Amino acid sequence: MSPPPPHPSTPAQRAAWIDARLAALYPETPVPLDHSSPYTLLVAVLLSAQCTDKRVNLQTPGLFARADTPEKMVRLSVAEIDAHVRPCGLAPRKAEAIRRLSQLLLENHGGAVPRSFAELEALPGVGHKTASVVMAQAFGVPAFPVDTHIHRLAQRWKLTPLGANVERTERDLKRLFPEAHWNALHLRIIFYGREHCTARGCDGMVCPLCRELFPARRRAVRVKKA
């Protein structure tokens, strides 16, 4: 185990220590969403909005058995897609977005998932976080998608101010961590947040990293949700 960082430490010192600590804890960074192509990853990430990766992974095998390409997806009706993804929540909206983005991929991109943030974010149901996940995990482009776990831990670890919005958190994390580490590190923070520094299981004083980073902390950290 790495020794605790020096105290008091700057955000840059904490970031460097967290980077090394998480790399030791999670040397492998498998993508949590099951997929076989950039297209199936895009669909899976869209479905993961306000839904757990575990539930998405339970639903996508049935959907992808019928339609794992834009060409196949547009042959399904919105109602048929909805039936496959209903347990993921917001199913009618997600089903419509999946079918429409599949049409647009065929019409505007030759059926391929585009490799730019602007083109991805122009697709229905695809926001900046979804585009960032696809760019990072499908194409290896440095990105730092900020989900609820990363947003929570960044505030608990004083890498971004309490009450910061997601955009501020992303800017701060990109400034603090080396670009070459972003794609693996954002997954490592998610893994740690799910396993140790959970929304209810830690208040900034319970999990190992919170205790090691802030041994003198005596008050719970109330964070703003993503």
Check whether residue 135 and residue 149 sit in a common domain. Answer: no
Give the domain extent around 187. 11-29+144-213
Check whether residue 198 and residue 110 sit in a common domain. Answer: no
**Residue 14 confidence (pLDDT):** 95
The CATH number of residue 135's host domain is 1.10.340.30
**Residue 226 confidence (pLDDT):** 66
Check whether residue 103 and residue 44 sit in a common domain. Answer: yes
**Residue 147 confidence (pLDDT):** 94
SS3 category, 164: coil
CB burial readout 112-142, b (16+ within 10 A) else e: ebbeebebbeebbbbebbbbbbbbbbbeeee
Judge whether 1 lies within some domain. Answer: no
**Residue 9 confidence (pLDDT):** 78
Judge whether 183 lies within some domain. Answer: yes
* Residue that is written with structure tokens 């101010």 in the block: 161
Judge whether 226 lies within some domain. Answer: no
CA dihedral 48, 50, 53, 59 (to 10 degrees): -70
Judge whether 22 lies within some domain. Answer: yes
**Residue 224 confidence (pLDDT):** 74
Judge whether 122 lies within some domain. Answer: yes
Which residues of the chain are modeled with pLDDT < 70? Answer: 1-8, 226
Judge whether 219 lies within some domain. Answer: no
**Residue 6 confidence (pLDDT):** 54
DSSP state string for 93-129: HHHHHHHHHHHHHHHHHTTSPPSSHHHHHTSTT--HH
Please identify, among 139, 173, 195, the residue that sits at the C-terminal boundary of a domain. Answer: 139
**Residue 169 confidence (pLDDT):** 97
Report, as residue numbers or ranges, the catalytic residues: 129, 147
Please identify, among 96, 121, 139, the residue that sits at the C-terminal boundary of a domain. Answer: 139
Per residue in 90-116, pLDDT (tens digit) is: 999 999 999 999 999 999 999 999 999
Check whether residue 148 and residue 105 sit in a common domain. Answer: no
Contacts of 20 (CB under 8 A, 6+ apart): 2
Check whether residue 152 and residue 200 sit in a common domain. Answer: yes
Judge whether 5 lies within some domain. Answer: no
Please identify, among 89, 120, 139, the residue that sits at the C-terminal boundary of a domain. Answer: 139
Structural domains in the chain (count): 2
**Residue 225 confidence (pLDDT):** 74
The CATH number of residue 177's host domain is 1.10.1670.10
**Residue 30 confidence (pLDDT):** 96
- What gap in Å lies between CA 131 and CA 120, rounded to an integer? 6
Per residue in 25-47, pLDDT (tens digit) is: 999 999 999 999 999 999 999 99
